[in-house]
Amino acid sequence: MENIITNPLMAGLKLDLIYYPMINEYNGNVYTQLRIIDYRIN
């Protein structure tokens, strides 16, 4: 878990995982969340 905080890329992903599920609940679309995270990784 410490590596996630240390690595900038993983920290960005962690923010996405926290931020976008809130949007995901608003949209009610699981695919929206998965696609956004996919674009972030690529």
Q: For the segment 1-42, what is each residue's pLDDT rounded down to a tens digit?
A: 444 445 555 555 665 666 565 555 555 555 555 555 555 555
The pLDDT, as a whole number, for residue 3 is: 44
What is the reported pTM?
Answer: 0.20
The Cα angle at residue 26 between residues 40 and 10, in degrees rounded to 5 = 25
CA distance 26 to 29: 8
CA distance 4 to 11: 6
The pLDDT, as a whole number, for residue 1 is: 46
